[in-house]
A and B are shown apart, each in its own frame.
Chain A
């Protein structure tokens, strides 16, 4: 089975959306502060969000892994300006999901490498990835792909019990 990695089009939407929703539910497992919206609302918001990204190729990158017409992986990154730092632009990966049975065979790594190439074309010399702090699988994955911890994001509820 061949898997083709390419930029997403609007035709990919229903399947692509499903993968993003899976990712959000996975993230919710790690922290109550990542609890997702009710299903129908979540779906609506996510659809709008992906649509924007697919349509604006200068500011976003949406990659899909296409296995004979079936979308088995998705990666979405934002191209952001870094006001104070050099390099001045970063590709910021927020959504990255591969279907379970396509994992552990290097597909994720191939997608990251392809994303890095395309983000560089869009002027981003740094790639950043965001994921739940307790997601050890993601920690291992990115470490193996030569990423290192750069910033910490700590959170708590504003009102304490």
Chain B
């Protein structure tokens, strides 16, 4: 199965010479118009920004709609540290989704950065050119340090999709899953298997959303995380976030592995390594009534959905589009940035992220949630403007918006921008400027 996609991706990436390009968005009636778009006219725009400061650059340039997809290539997909050049096709893909689903002009920006300081400097140096920075595929715990320092230093939103995108989609799915089983986030026992970028952020988001950290148990390759584990001092020095969670969570002082953690738990969120067989059926069977199981590893979930169901799971979600309930960060980042950019937000706060998750959940609920429909699918296009609207409205409410927007205003605005981007691509293909390729997808 995957081999077919590999072969196609290789052939087509070479055929098209990558996936994105820059196209002017102003008419050029003749070379004389360069006097407007370039010198001498542009000098006035430059002066205007010099006088008006950074905020004016959002009005007179593409900055209001631009995002850097910044990476050092240190943890690309499941491939590990492939380096910046090899990460470029992935960042291009990200930029393509940004444009297609969010109408955002995203620029792939792999950099040769050796450590946290260099990565932070890279972010600081490119800030003037962009309305936001999407950090991508940076190894843990480096990604936590880089995100925290850049969020603090920059006046534009900085987001690490591997953490926040996945965590937001997970929260959205969990909100609806809990509604179906009739449980409250404040009471449930939650087990997180895999303590990497996404699950650490998920843990913090769940806590922010009302989960009791004492009812959460985190399990990594060394077993259940608890306050007396031998490696805790090492974590304190290298990974303060994981250390902090080790102290806050697991109020019952459970010890052991995944089996012990799952005993009597209500919710499992696994984001560890490709299965099957990482999570065993008999462990699911020992969970509380109506277990909720998210097995998010790609390409193969930690346990096959049908196995989890056979073991008694009431609701199962995975990271895959060929099973129901796909927890996918592509449902999140294009819309979160659409909303943040339109509000000219200075940051993407945790509350804005939660607003996005709630809107995703509401959208699915309005259509009727079931065991096999807890989160919208990628085909449900109109969820993106709604999410953007929720994010922009929250940014406005929290005072991080340079340009305050109501939900309604941004809903109209985002719908327009996203459909514009879809229509533009369609017309380029229909006009034959972008060649259609034959075969392959059947």
Contacts and interface: CB of A to CB of B under 8 A. Distances in A.
A101 B227 contact: yes
Contact of A25 (B230, B243, B246): B230
Contacts of A26: 233-234
Interface in B401-422: none
Interface in B230-259: 230, 232-234, 236-237, 243, 246-247
Interface residues of A, number: 8
Contacts of B243: 100
Binding site secondary structure of chain A = helix
Contacts of A22: 230, 233
B228 interface: yes
A99 interface: yes
Nearest to B238: A29
The 6 nearest A-B residue pairs measured at CB: A26-B233, A101-B227, A100-B232, A101-B247, A100-B227, A29-B237
Contacts of A100: 227-228, 232-233, 236, 243, 246-247
A72 B236 CA distance: 17
B166 to A, nearest CB: 28
Interface string B316-354: 000000000000000000000000000000000000000
Interface string A86-125: 0000000000000111000000000000000000000000
A65 to B, nearest CB: 15
Contacts of A25: 230, 233
A99 B227 contact: yes
A26 B237 CA distance: 9
Interface residues of B, number: 11
Which of B227, B230, B233 has the most CB atoms of chain A within a 10 A radius of its CB? B233
A120 to B, nearest CB: 30
A157 B298 CA distance: 47
A42 B243 CA distance: 26
A10 B232 CA distance: 27
Interface string B181-217: 0000000000000000000000000000000000000
Nearest to B231: A25
Nearest to B228: A99
A3 to B, nearest CB: 15
Interface in A1-48: 22, 25-26, 29
Nearest to A30: B237
A29 B233 CA distance: 9
Contacts of B230: 22, 25
A25 B243 CA distance: 16
B249 to A, nearest CB: 11
Contacts of B228: 99-101
15 contacts: A22-B230, A22-B233, A25-B230, A26-B233, A26-B234, A29-B233, A99-B228, A100-B227, A100-B232, A100-B236, A100-B243, A100-B246, A100-B247, A101-B227, A137-B237
A52 B277 CA distance: 52
Interface string A67-94: 0000000000000000000000000000
A89 B247 CA distance: 39
Given A29-B233, A100-B246, A100-B247, 14 more contacts: A22-B230, A25-B233, A26-B233, A26-B234, A29-B234, A29-B237, A99-B228, A100-B227, A100-B232, A100-B236, A100-B243, A101-B227, A101-B228, A101-B247
A133 to B, nearest CB: 14
Contacts of B232: 100
Nearest to A136: B237
Nearest to A23: B233
Interface centre among A25, A29, A99, A100 (most CB of B within 10 A): A100
